[in-house]
Amino acid sequence: MLTALIGLVVAGIAAVVVLTVLFTIFSVVFGLLGLVVALAFKVLPLVLVGYVIVKLVQRGERSGLCRSRLSASDRAWLDT
């Protein structure tokens, strides 16, 4: 009778340890999933908009649109 009770206690402790490890793994996985979702829907659109703006500005600088609107005196002042 005593050995059965000790066996049940040991089995209960083992079950608690196994469940603790499983819940820890699940919390880490879902925490990382939450981080990925937050990055995908909050940070990534801002990065994408910034990238597009930078590329548009670079394209405008390459084609000379910015400097062609300046007067000759303004261009001379910028070059000094």
Rounded Cα–Cα distance for residues 63 and 60 (Å): 5
Rounded Cα–Cα distance for residues 52 and 46 (Å): 10
Q: How many CA atoms lie within 13 A of 66 on its CB side?
A: 8
Q: 64 phi and psi, to 5 degrees?
A: 80, 20
Query: How much is the pLDDT for 8?
Result: 95
Query: How much is the pLDDT for 33?
Result: 94
Query: How much is the pLDDT for 55?
Result: 92
Q: 56 phi and psi, to 5 degrees?
A: -65, -40
Query: How much is the pLDDT for 25?
Result: 97
pTM: 0.50
Residue with tokens 């819940």: 23
Query: How much is the pLDDT for 20?
Result: 97
Going from the first residue of the chain to its last (80 residues), give the mean pLDDT of each consecutive group of 10, the final group possibly shorter.
92 97 96 91 93 89 65 83
